[in-house]
């Protein structure tokens, strides 16, 4: 008979090996699971003993499923009185893909209806639904027009071992922890007398899983145990052999007793967070391991040199969106392991290849795993080389100047970290000519769908004429070397532009790369497209972040107007904030196309969001509509052939008069510009508007060292 064991992506081959070791005749890896040939006893053994499977599914029927009617008919054709008693409770989990049935909850409902209707017709009674702890949990998988209805033999997710009393901010699933340990060769290392260490242990998952693995404790024993410690069958499905299950449990209990009694105290973990240590201790006690794992409170630099010559370091350093991956932390981890565990093996689950490289450790093997939907890189280092040995592939050490830049970058990142996490800021300025001889701005852009994947936008300010060109080139190289080390990024994810002063104002030297590569980043609730390589600016002015978020907060049920709309980031925020309609005016067709793409990225568009290609001032003179909320952020200068010369200092009174005339009663206009010598003609503006200088409140913390980056006023119609 064939059944299916599901697992996290990247664990398929490990799971296939495990199931064969448990006695299954054949086990073939497929995407996110293993197709297994075996007996019902093999499937029940997998429920009790598998450390890697997410679920074990025993199929009841497979049929063509073109639509909802076929789904209901196929499910109703199953002999349900042979599967369950009408007094039992029921739940259905569904996973669907394809164009015909797209809603998993609806598909599950149709299968439930088929079961209930069939049971009522056959017995006169029907089972009730219990989604939390049903007597029978069914699984529906619908893919490519074929439906498979199966019994979930484990009654729910198998990664829940039953001992987790407390968890940290981003707990590691026990199944993934088992994979980290198995890839590191932990069972054999323990048999050889080696130790297990997690220097960033969090709530203790890796250490607890490693200890239970070493003791030979079946993962399902505690998961399925009741309040009295008995281990009843995990499902009341009539096809489940309760006698065979009881025999499996008896054998597993005997192995557990001998394994726990012989367990050596070779497990240790540390963390800098006392809450994590308390959670780990509570979890260890719940797992029956109180006193068997040594937990200590200290940071990586304080990690003591290990007394034993060999062992395994298993670690899951932070890398997800909630815990904000920090390449400097990965480098500190690598440095600590070289010093404290030379000669050991290490199995490290890192956020991505760049973070894995940031450890500075040479990986013998690399694996692609998935922590939920997040793709990760598992590296196995064997052995960890001591500091005295140089890695031939390691980049050359930083020069003194580059070290200064790197130290300043790290200091800035530490200073901004709490704010970035609190405000969920994904794109920000990390450095802005903090060291005068390294005059550049470094902006960080994190991808919306993979926040650990970062890009840098580096704008070097041209050196003064009295600085030799060779010295300027060397400083630029040092700055880039520092940025690559701190952020652990390859060259291809760093965009470099050199700004020079020339005729007509500030320009960039050299051509652009024209890569045609757009990234999608997140700001508040908005998804926005940026291009770091092809244009003078990226499509998102980071210093206006607070102002855009203010617009989003004030936009509900307003008519919004965006003058000099650029790529429409403010328009997207207003639309997501509930604006009744939006109008975006810009002279550039490229920017308007970009704005349309930004709207589409957020599921917006249509007649409610009007895009107008025109000179803003000329358009205002002809427009007769009224708006409740207006954003006006003109350039400092413009010499467009279509609109003529524009100078914000010279034209701002006329521009503001025309814009304020379009305000509805009670409406507000936000006027901003980045001309550093700009002076608002307050006397002239006061004749038609009340203007409030809100500039300081719109400067975000990452631009606090440059409070002149822009000026901003809030205007309302006078009278």
Cα angle for residues 656, 657, 662 (degrees, 5° grid):
95
Nearest CA to 294 out of 320, 261, 326, 271 is that of 271
Q: What residues form DSSP beta bridges with 302?
A: none
Domains along the sequence of the chain with CATH: 2-152 (3.30.2130.30), 174-233+245-381 (3.40.50.150), 400-509 (3.30.750.80), 541-717 (3.40.50.150)
Q: How far is CA 310 from CA 190, 341, 344, 383, 387, in A?
A: 10, 8, 5, 9, 17
Q: Please give the backbone phi and psi of residue 159, each rounded to the nearest 5 degrees, phi first.
A: -70, -15
pLDDT of residue 322: 40
Cβ-based neighbours of 251, under 8 Å, separated by 6 or more: none
How far is Cα 490 from Cα 266, in angstroms, rounded to an integer? Answer: 38
Q: Please give the backbone phi and psi of residue 298, each rounded to the nearest 5 degrees, phi first.
A: -170, 165
Rg over alpha carbons for the chain, rounded to the nearest Å, is 31
Q: How many residues does the chain have?
A: 719
Q: Please give the backbone phi and psi of residue 328, each rounded to the nearest 5 degrees, phi first.
A: -60, -35
Which helix H or strand E contains 258, and what residues bound it?
helix 242-262
- Is the link from the previous residue into 461 a cis peptide, with omega within 30 of 0? no
Nearest CA to 33 out of 49, 46, 48 is that of 46
How far is Cα 572 from Cα 399, in angstroms, rounded to an integer? Answer: 44
**3-class state of residue 502 by DSSP:** strand
How far is Cα 283 from Cα 295, in angstroms, rounded to an integer? Answer: 12
> Splitting the chain (719 residues) into consecutive groups of 10 residues, what average pLDDT does each group show?
94 95 93 93 98 98 94 97 96 89 93 97 95 95 93 95 73 94 97 97 96 97 86 96 97 97 96 94 95 95 92 89 65 94 96 86 89 86 75 66 94 94 94 94 93 91 84 90 89 80 43 73 95 92 97 97 97 97 96 96 94 95 96 89 82 97 96 95 96 96 93 93
How far is Cα 177 from Cα 325, in angstroms, rounded to an integer? Answer: 19
């Amino acid at each position: 008979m064939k059944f299916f064991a599901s697992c996290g992506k990247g664990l398929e081959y490990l799971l296939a090996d495990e199931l064969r070791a448990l006695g299954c005749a054949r086990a073939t890896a497929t995407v996110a699971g293993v197709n297994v040939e075996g007996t019902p006893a093999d499937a029940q053994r997998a429920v009790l003993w598998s450390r890697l499977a997410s679920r074990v599914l025993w199929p009841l029927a497979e049929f063509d499923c073109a639509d909802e009617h076929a789904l209901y008919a196929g499910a109703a054709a199953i002999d349900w009185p042979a599967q369950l008693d009408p007094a039992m409770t029921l739940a259905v989990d569904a996973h669907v893909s394809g164009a015909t049935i797209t809603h998993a909850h609806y598909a599950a409902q149709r299968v439930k209806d088929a079961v209930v209707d069939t049971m009522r017709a056959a017995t006169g009674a029907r089972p009730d639904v219990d989604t939390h702890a049903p007597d029978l949990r069914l699984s529906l998988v619908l893919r490519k027009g074929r439906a498979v209805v199966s019994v979930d033999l484990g009654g729910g997710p198998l990664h829940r071992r039953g001992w987790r009393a407390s968890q940290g901010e981003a707990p590691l699933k026990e199944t993934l922890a088992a994979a980290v340990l198995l890839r590191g060769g932990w069972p054999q290392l323990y048999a050889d007398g080696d130790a297990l260490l997690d220097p960033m242990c969090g709530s203790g998952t890796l250490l607890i899983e490693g200890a239970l693995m070493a003791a030979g404790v079946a993962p399902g024993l505690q998961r399925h145990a009741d309040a009295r410690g008995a281990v009843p069958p995990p499902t009341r499905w009539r096809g489940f052999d309760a006698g065979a299950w009881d025999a499996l449990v008896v054998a597993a209990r005997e192995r557990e007793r001998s394994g726990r009694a012989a367990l050596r105290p070779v497990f240790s973990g540390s963390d800098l967070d006392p809450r994590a240590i308390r959670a780990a201790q509570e979890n260890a006690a719940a797992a029956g391991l109180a006193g068997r794992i040594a937990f200590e409170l200290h940071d990586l630099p304080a990690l003591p040199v290990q007394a034993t010559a060999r062992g395994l370091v298993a670690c899951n350093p932070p890398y997800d969106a909630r815990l904000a991956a920090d390449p400097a932390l990965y480098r500190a981890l690598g440095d600590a392991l070289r010093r404290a565990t030379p000669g050991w093996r290490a199995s490290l689950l890192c956020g991505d290849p760049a973070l894995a490289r940031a450890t500075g450790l040479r990986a013998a093997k690399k694996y692609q795993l998935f922590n939920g939907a997040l793709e990760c890189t598992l590296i196995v280092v064997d052995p960890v080389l001591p500091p005295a040995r140089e890695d031939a592939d390691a980049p050359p050490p930083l020069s003194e100047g580059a070290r200064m830049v790197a130290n300043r970058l790290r200091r800035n990142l530490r200073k901004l970290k709490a704010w970035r996490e609190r405000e969920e800021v994904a794109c920000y300025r990390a450095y802005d000519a903090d060291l005068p001889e390294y005059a550049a701005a470094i902006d960080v852009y994190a991808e919306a769908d993979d926040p650990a994947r970062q890009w840098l936008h580096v704008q070097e300010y041209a050196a003064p004429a009295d600085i030799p060109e060779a010295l300027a080139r060397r400083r630029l190289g040092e700055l880039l070397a520092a940025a690559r080390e701190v952020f652990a990024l390859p060259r291809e994810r760093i965009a470099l532009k050199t700004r020079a002063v020339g005729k007509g104002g500030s320009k960039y030297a050299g051509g652009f790369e024209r890569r045609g590569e757009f990234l999608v980043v997140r700001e508040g609730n908005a998804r926005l497209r940026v291009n770091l390589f092809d244009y003078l600016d990226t499509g998102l002015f980071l210093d206006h972040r607070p102002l855009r978020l203010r617009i989003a907060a004030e936009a509900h049920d307003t008519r919004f107007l965006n003058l000099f709309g650029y790529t429409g980031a403010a328009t997207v925020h207003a639309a997501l904030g509930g604006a009744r309609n939006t109008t975006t005016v810009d002279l550039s067709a490229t920017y308007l196309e970009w704005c349309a793409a930004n709207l589409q990225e957020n599921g917006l568009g249509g007649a409610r969001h009007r895009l107008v290609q025109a000179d803003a001032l000329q358009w205002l003179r002809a427009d007769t509509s009224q708006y409740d909320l207006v954003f006006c952020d003109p350039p400092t200068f413009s010499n467009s052939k279509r609109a003529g010369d524009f100078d914000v200092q010279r034209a701002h009174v006329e521009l503001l008069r025309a814009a304020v005339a379009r305000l509805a009663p009670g409406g507000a206009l936000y006027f901003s510009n980045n001309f550093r010598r700009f002076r608002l003609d307050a006397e002239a503006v006061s004749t038609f508007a009340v203007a409030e200088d809100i500039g300081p409140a719109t400067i975000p913390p990452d631009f606090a060292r440059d409070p002149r980056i822009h000026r901003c006023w809030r205007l309302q119609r006078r009278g």
